Structures are given as C-alpha cells and as structure tokens.
Amino acid sequence: MNKKGINDVEIRGKRVLVRVDFNVPLDKQGQITDDTRMRAALPTIKYLVEGGARVILASHLGRPKGQVNPSYSLAPVAKHLSELLGQDVALAADCIGHPAMKAVSTLQDGQVLLLENVRFHAEEEKNNPEFARELAALAELFVNDAFGTAHRAHASTEGVTHYIPAVAGLLMQKEVEFMGNALERPERPFVAIIGGAKVSDKIGVIENLLEKVDILIIGGGMANTFLKAQGFKVGKSLLETEKVELAKQLIEKAQAKGVRLELPIDVVVAQAFEADAPHRTVNVSEIQDGEMVLDIGAVSAERFATHISTARTVIWNGPMGVFEMDAFAKGTERIAQAVAACGGTTIVGGGDSVAAVEKMNVADRMTHISTGGGASLEFLEGKVLPGVAALSEA
Ligand code: ADP
Ligand code: MG
C-alpha cells in the first residue's frame, strides 16, 4: 500500500486518535452478540499500547442520528474491550469538549481510552470541519483502522486528517493490501464469484471485475436477471425486469473481453419463499410459472467448483442462494468448500457471504475475510475510499 502505516511513525508517549469500527451488533439487553470487529482492531491497539502510545479510540455505533441516545452508548464495548485487552479501558462521556479533554489529559503511556459514540453529534456524518478540528485537537497523530467506514467521508474518518498527521492501522493496511493486490496484480487464473440478492446492488462490481478477471461466476438471486436475459423463463423468482437489458450488455461485454461468464445451468426451485416449501432441481430451461429459484443446482455448483479449483486468485462476494434456509444452502456450501480448498489467494467480502462462510466453519481457511461490507463493495467497484485517500503517502 502506498500509504504510511503505524510502523512508519513515532508513537511512544504520543496521544494517538484511532478510528476503529466498533459498530457491533447488540441484543435487547445491550449485550454484544458478535465481537468480530473488535477483535479485528486488536493488533493495532496492542501495537500502540506496547509501543507506549496514549491510545484514544473513536467509533460509531448504530444510527443515533446525531442525538445522544443511551441505547447506542459504547459503554458495553468499553467493558468488553477491557476484557479482550486485559487492561482497563475508560469511556469518555463525550467524544469532544470537556469530558474528552479531561479524560485524555490523565492518560498515561500505554493506557487506552474510548470516546463515546461519534454519531451522537450530527456534525460527524456531515464531516463538519469545526467538529473534526475538535476531535483532532485531542491527539498528535491519527490512525485509521476502520476499513468498514472508509467509504464514508465523515469527520472521524476524513475530516480529522486535515489537522494532524494520518496513517493506516494494521487492519486497514491488511484490507487494502489484500484486495488491492488481488485487483491490481492478481495471480491468474483470477476467478470472481458474485452472488446475493440483486444485480442492482452489484452492477459496479460486475463492471469493474469484467475488466480484470478471467472467469466471472454469477449465482444467487441476481443470476435470475441474467437467465432472463439469456431467454429463460424464471417463474416467480426474484427478478429485476428493468435490469434485463443491462444483463444482456454485460453478457456481451464479457464475450468481447474474452472473460468466461458462468451462469447456473441448473437451479433449485420452490413453490414459495419458505424453509419447508416443496422444491426440486431443474435445468434452467424447465422453470415453471409457479416456481421460484432459491439456489443453484448441484451440476452448476460442481462446475463452478471446478473453475475455482484452478484459480490462483479468488474473490467471492454474495451467496449462491437463500443460504439462511437449509434446503437452499447447498450451492453456497459447495462454493464455500471449493474456495476454502483453493490453493490460491482467496478473499471473501460482503456481510452475508462472510456470515455464510462462518456458518460453514471455513472462515479460517480463507486468505482474507473483509470486515467491511459496504466498503469492500466500493473497493471492488474500483472506487477510491475517502478514508484511505486521506491518509499520508508513504
Ligand atoms: P452480501 O451481504 O454477501 O454482499 P447480499 O446482501 O448481496 O450479499 O445478498 C445476500 C442475500 O441474498 C441473502 O439474504 C440471500 O438469502 C439472498 N439470496 C440469494 N439467492 C437468492 C435467491 N435466489 N432468491 C432470493 N434471495 C436470494
Ligand atoms: Mg448483505
């Protein structure tokens, strides 16, 4: 990555403002139900603690819409982080102003402070310069480790970089390096697997990847629109009628570029969008009016798996079917296994795809699992992420 990292700067005794993504899911009792994002930030926090920095963490949690709202307080996060780090993590009652300045002034080298939810201020998402300046005034150095929010130019991701030196944290570096290398310098064959509900969510990703990959595999609900473009009937499947023309153009573009575009040739169809709906596997030419496609078929899954096994680089974004229901999870399972078994570099991004990979217990066999859903999509679209662009050049 051509950006400075925490290894490139002096940290001992310095007040370091670290933007982390601690936007963790909480249950009704306010208990953290999944701390993956917190664990992902630990290497950077520990590096700073061990290097004798005074660590000031900033994050958002949920959508409090610029209002103080106790149900979005980071208090449970501070408590859990204390346990993960094995040291006390204080919580400042506000991310700017007197509560923040007072808490920072008592910080010793190697100590960690968490600022209260930055989105309790409407100025955060508006990237208000005065608010950003106040945040930045707490520290001498800014570290961005929140890949998951790097696609947003907010005060705590972009605004602060106008006031103090800004470098990438270890998680940010890892995300940008793995995905950047895969897109810019892929070992070939380079295979992308795109799935999920809708074409419209991922047009930009498909268009960008068509410029780069050798094989593009399309499954999931979005494949229906491509099947329709190929002239098949898709019954009452999820279909984006207004995107059929675009799907035709993408099929042509793939041909013109010499990219092998793989669509399902058989599918699992059901009578209803229900876990126990009667279902059968049919050739894509045999879908009946009353049926909906809820998964790729076994023949397609094997065919996709064969392509994946030859790949030196794999990017996977989007499940192959309605994997939340066991009856329609087999396609996604087969692809998860194939990606896990692939000897090349394998990268999985997208909230639901990552959940599928975790559910199928193959997460640790992937080279890289992206922590940022929206951010990884924008990265795959080839967009410049403002939170990354704002960091100092190496
Ligand atoms: P990701 O979060 O990995 O980017 P998406 O959010 O784009 O993935 O899509 C995931 C959703 O797509 C899942 O909830 C899944 O049930 C749904 N989906 C996949 N295949 C189908 C299908 N054939 N019909 C309807 N929904 C589908
Ligand atoms: Mg999703």
Instruction: Write phi, then psi, for 115 (nearest 5 degrees).
Output: -85, 150
390 assigned to some structural domain: no
In this prediction, residues 267-292 reach a mean pLDDT of: 97
Q: Given 170, 201, 224, which residue is the final one in a domain?
A: 170
DSSP 99-113: HHHHHHHTPPTT-EE
Cβ of residue 324 lying under 6 Å from some atom of ligand 1: yes
- Which pLDDT band, with edges at 50, 70 and 90, does 2 fall under? confident
Q: Given 142, 170, 198, which residue is the final one in a domain?
A: 170
289, 352: one domain: yes
Q: Report whether pLDDT(113) > 80.
A: yes
pLDDT digits (tens, 9 = 90+) for 170-225: 999 999 999 999 999 999 999 999 999 999 999 999 999 999 999 999 999 999 99
For the question of residue 365 being annotated catalytic, the response is no
369, 250: one domain: yes
The pLDDT of residue 372 is 85
141, 243: one domain: no
DSSP 306-324: HHHHH-SEEEEES-SS-TT
Candidates 8, 6, 4, 10; CA nearest to 392 is 4
385 assigned to some structural domain: no
299, 365: one domain: yes
Q: Dihedral of the CA atoms 178, 181, 187, 188 (nearest 10)?
A: 100
Ligand with an atom nearest the CA of residue 236? 1
140, 204: one domain: no
156, 19: one domain: yes
149, 185: one domain: no
51: CA distance to ligand 1 center in Å?
43
Strand spans (E) along 5-146: 15-19, 54-58, 89-92, 112-115, 141-144
144 assigned to some structural domain: yes
Q: Report whether pLDDT(1) > 80.
A: no
CA torsion through residues 119, 125, 129, 135, sign = positive
Ligand with an atom nearest the CA of residue 319? 1
Would you state the structure tokens that stand for residue 348, as one six-digit string? 């999985």
Cβ of residue 297 lying under 6 Å from some atom of ligand 1: no
Would you state the structure tokens that stand for residue 40, as one six-digit string? 């992902």
Give nearest CA residue, ligand 1 atom 17: 197
1 assigned to some structural domain: no
> What is the percentage of the chain residues whose pLDDT exceeds 90?
96
65, 192: one domain: no
Q: Dihedral of the CA atoms 229, 230, 231, 234 (nearest 10)?
A: -70
135 neighbors 96 (Cβ within 8 angstroms): yes
Give nearest CA residue, ligand 1 atom 24: 221
233, 353: one domain: yes
The pLDDT of residue 243 is 96
Q: Given 144, 170, 196, which residue is the final one in a domain?
A: 170
262 assigned to some structural domain: yes
CA torsion through residues 303, 309, 311, 317, sign = positive
145, 200: one domain: no
Pairing label, strands 292-296, 266-270: antiparallel
pTM of the model: 0.91
pLDDT digits (tens, 9 = 90+) for 72-84: 999 999 999 999 9
- Cα 139 off chain centre by: 28
389 assigned to some structural domain: no
Domain hosting residue 136, numbered range: 6-170
CATH number at residue 68: 3.40.50.1260
Ligand 1 pocket test, pick from 352, 354, 380, 381 with the greatest ligand atom count within 8 Å of Cβ, gives 352
Q: Report whether pLDDT(357) > 90.
A: yes
- Which pLDDT band, with edges at 50, 70 and 90, does 228 fall under? very high
For the question of residue 351 being annotated catalytic, the response is yes
392 assigned to some structural domain: no
125: CA distance to ligand 1 center in Å?
28
For the chain, the domain total comes to 2
The pLDDT of residue 371 is 85
Query: What pairs with residue 217 in β-bridges?
Result: 193, 262
200, 307: one domain: yes
391 assigned to some structural domain: no
- Which pLDDT band, with edges at 50, 70 and 90, does 60 fall under? very high
Closest ligand 1 atom to Cα of 294 = 23
| Nearest-angstrom CA–CA distance, 267 and 176 | 35
Name the active-site residue from 198, 257, 359, 365: 198
The pLDDT of residue 373 is 84
102, 13: one domain: yes
